[in-house]
Amino acid sequence: MDTELEAWEAPAAKEKLRLITQVYEPGQPQTCRTPGLLWFYAVLMTGSVERLPGILEAGVRTCRATPGMEWELATTLQMRANMLANRSDWAGDAVRDADESLEIFRRLGDAWGTAEALSARAEARERIGEFGLAAADYEAAIEHAERLGAHGQTAVLGARLGSVLVEGGEAERGERILREVVEKQPYGGGNEAMPAARMFLAGYLALTGRPAEAREQLRLLREQFSISHFVVFDAYILGLEAWVATVDGAYDEALDKIRQALQRAGDPLSEAIAPHMTPLYLGLAAIALAEIDGGGRARDAVRCLVAARALLPAGHVATSMEREIYLRAERYARAALGDEAYEIREAECAEGGGLSVEEAAALV
């Protein structure tokens, strides 16, 4: 993963991706199987987000209408489930797609496809807050991956399981699994589980009042993950560094990290994969703005918070860390302004139609 993504950041590679996106049309049978299937990722990485739902829908229609394309249908449904799970603002049902994909892979006897479909359904359930069901699916996917000897995928699924257990109320077990994934993974590139586990763990450590340990996890992540500067990962990591800084009371540092995180989160690829990042980072900014200068920028904090809530994708289910950020932002702004002044300011901002992303980011 490390070398591949880094290579696609080069200008010549970006131009190649752009040309690939022009070769195919949605619904062509060759786009439903390898290597044409990879066309979808070229479209994703060039930021043509608005094309993705139509491409996936056309692929599903073609597979249904073409005899002998059951495996391709299962694969396309699984891909769509993964995308829909992260885009609550798009029409569609990620769990339904994952269910159908799983049924087909099981009928075909494809163990790897079964594991992937279980993982897709787990993620879909996780995104709508069904943490117990998500954990069960991740555990089932791990069993399939272990039987196949896919140790790398087993570790990735373990990281996801640890995170969903934390969210679902089994925090002690979830933290233990995340630590096990981190400790068992080899140092260096080609390791997809370690970054996910360290990010999940760092966010939870800060949430539970352990910012020093969270900082160390993020330091090691930057040191060991060779493409931590790749735009999407950098956006995630900068956001976590900002969260840790706010928990630590280092608000100037937090604002510096938030400015950088907002820039990365505004990249088309980041917006395609995680559209909730920008509002979350505005929520973090609201915490810092409410606290710096003796509360002198608390009115700007309210503007950021109102904008953040307005910009959240429809149907987005917040994680425990996200909920705490938004709650803390409001609590700190209320403490700085007083309840009455806060509510007046909140109403003023809401009635004014809120701020655009660019206007809100300019306050940070």
The pLDDT of residue 197 is above 90: yes
- Stretch 172-185: mean pLDDT: 92
How much is the pTM? 0.89
Side chain identity at residue 217, one-letter code? Q
For 35, phi and psi rounded to 5 degrees?
Answer: -90, -10
- 330 CA to centre of own chain: 24
Residue 212 token pair: 């020093």
Burial of 169 (C-beta count, 10 Å sphere; 0-12/13-18/19+)? exposed
Of the two residues 64 and 1, the one the predictor is more confident about is: 64
Distance between CA atoms of residues 55 and 166, nearest Å: 35
CA distances from 298 to 53, 132, 226, 303, 325 (A): 40, 39, 38, 9, 16
The pLDDT of residue 156 is above 50: yes
- Stretch 296-306: mean pLDDT: 94
Give the pLDDT band of residue 37 (cuts 50, 70, 90): confident
- Stretch 299-324: mean pLDDT: 92
Amino acid 193: pLDDT: 85
Contacts of 235 (CB under 8 A, 6+ apart): 261, 264, 265, 267, 270, 274, 277
| Interaxial angle between packed helices 298-311 and 320-337, expressed in degrees from 0 to 180 and rounded to the nearest 10 | 150
CA distances from 281 to 78, 197, 284, 289, 361 (A): 30, 21, 5, 12, 9
For 9, phi and psi rounded to 5 degrees?
Answer: -80, -15
Contacts of 253 (CB under 8 A, 6+ apart): 245
Residue 25 token pair: 């049309």
Range of 45-49, 272-276, 294-298 with top mean pLDDT: 294-298
Residue 100 token pair: 């159908």
Q: What is the DSSP string of 281-336?
A: HHHHHHHHHHHGGGGTTHHHHHHHHHHHHHHSPTTPPPPHHHHHHHHHHHHHHHHH
